[in-house]
Amino acid sequence: MTNSRDQQRRTLALLDATPAWHRLCAVRDDLDDTVAAAILDSAGRFSDDVIGPLNIAADRVGCTVAGGRVRVPEGYHAAWRGYADGGWIGIDLPEDRGGSGLPVVLQAAAAQIFDRGGIAFNMATGASRSGAVLLAEHAPDDIAADWVPALISGARTATICISEPGAGSDVGRIRTVAALTDGGWRVTGDKIWISFGDHDLTPMIGHCLLARTSDAPGTRGLSLFLVPSAQPDGHSNGVSLLRIEDKMGLHGSPTCALHFDRAEATLIGKTGHGLSQLFTMIELMRLQTGCQGLGIASLSCDVAIAFAQDRVQGGPSDAAPVPIASHPDVQRQLRWMRGQTEILRAAVLELATQMDLARSGDVTAAAYTAWLLPLIKTFGAETASAVANAGLQVLGGAGYTADWPLEQAVRDARVLAIYEGTTGMQAIDFLDRRLIRDRGGLDAFMAQSGDITGAGATVLAHFAALAETLRACPDATRRLWAADAWLRAGWLALTVVLAPRVAISDPDAAHAALAQIVERFAVHDAAVRDALR
């Protein structure tokens, strides 16, 4: 199995090519390339030595239920302790809460290395880190003081609880109820699709949960609660495991259905504002999806390249067979895989640095962050699936077997396009909110593209013109027909802007990413214009 060294090198090179990274370093005396290199080196060693070796075994063994509780695969407990003791959960949380106070971009740069080792284990770490950020920002002071350090230290974990049997993407149909009694808030209802909703890594789990507190229609009646899985004395808090899902991939991550029976809960923020407050957590988990996709794509590239260099087939019949890496079509596939992966790497770093600038109060960066999020979430998922599938193709029959990690990568990657908002939901968000309601993100993006020339400039000019055509269309239904094509056009436009950064250290990858981009953009351009007629 290959290690993460090349991934670290490529990440550092692209970080150096990211303008917002240098803006961050200019205003912080504790931040520079040396700090970034040290963090990635440490992350790489933990991923290669601890997470990676667990990944295949955890996939084959999976999670089990005993005595009404989930039992995680062997080795997870030591890995969890090492991850928490290494400070990785709180790397970007405030130092006064027990965190390291470093920027989001370094958290994301490390996370994609951990995800290369295996995303199943990291499903627990991502939710706990995002939950800690949520509670630090929105929870009452006493709750934040109790929970945030406990999450950062790994003494407790967190989940996000949104979906129900009758309410998935249509969050307004949530029927879980929170009632205010003399003893405080009590939550009753069922929640599904909860990653690490139950486990034996920690004695207490904090469920960040949406529940209905009024009869106001849709999402206006929803409020956000923290629901501990247990009482302080260790007794149950009315939270019980209904089942864990038997699913296609992520076997090492228990996806749970839970029942809440008058569970004691703490209101986070104001009643009726639950969904908007929960977006603090959702946005970080969408960035996490991009990191997960990048981790899977990076692994797939490395495995396919190593295999192609070692596997011998073909050549003159009167001579020894040659490595398949020398065959033109295999070279084409490997270049394409690397090109897609490195554009995603640049995009993840761009988003994370913009999130850091937004945290400091930069309004333009906040708008650009909102514009980038649906793109990175969607194409983190699609790049992972496409590159893993392409890598499996390079390996041929070997790739289809469990002897190589790519068949697991294909299975694990598939859910990325589903959770944290399906591709269709991201397309609607990108079109309706980021392009029609708020022009700030598009303006911020176009400002990044001033020095693009040639075919890339043509794509960007068409992209800007397309936005004006979209806003001029009064028919909302027709606009929605164009949502998916518009999302894909947006990713191609972002690719044009990011490719020069990739080209600094890997011209071949940049060239592969840009190949036929004008023709590909024209397909989506035509689809949008056809829908808007």
- Cite the beta strand spans of 77-204 per DSSP E: 157-161, 177-181, 184-195
DSSP code at position 231: -
Give 66's strand partners.
Answer: 69
Is 519 catalytic? The answer is no
Dihedral pair phi/psi, residue 123, rounded to 5°:
-60, -35
Instruction: Quote the distance between the C-alpha of residue 362 and its chain's center.
Output: 23
Q: Which residues contact 283 (CB under 8 A, 6 or more apart)?
A: 355, 369, 373
Q: Looking at this protein, which amino acid is placed at residue 414?
A: R
Q: Give the span between the Cα atoms of 381 and 385, in whole angstroms.
A: 6
**Which residues 6+ apart lie within 8 Å of 19 measured at CB?**
none
For 454, counting Cβ atoms within 10 Å of its Cβ (0-12 exposed, 13-18 middle, 19+ buried), the class is exposed
CB atoms inside a 10 Å sphere around CB 361: 8
**Residues 411, 72: Cα–Cα separation, whole Å:** 19
Total residue count of the chain as it appears in this document: 533
User: Structure tokens of 452?
Assistant: 């693009």
Contact 324, 330 (CB under 8 A): yes
Q: Which residues pair with 70 in a beta bridge?
A: 65
3-class DSSP state for residue 91?
Answer: coil
Q: Which of 164, 283, 350, 420 is catalytic?
A: 420
Rounded to whole angstroms, the Cα distance separating 290 from 241 reads: 29
Q: Which helix (H) or strand (E) holds 133?
A: helix 119-138
Tokens at residue 179, please? Answer: 């009632």
**Burial (CB count <10 Å: 0-12, 13-18, 19+), residue 150:** buried
Catalytic residues: 420
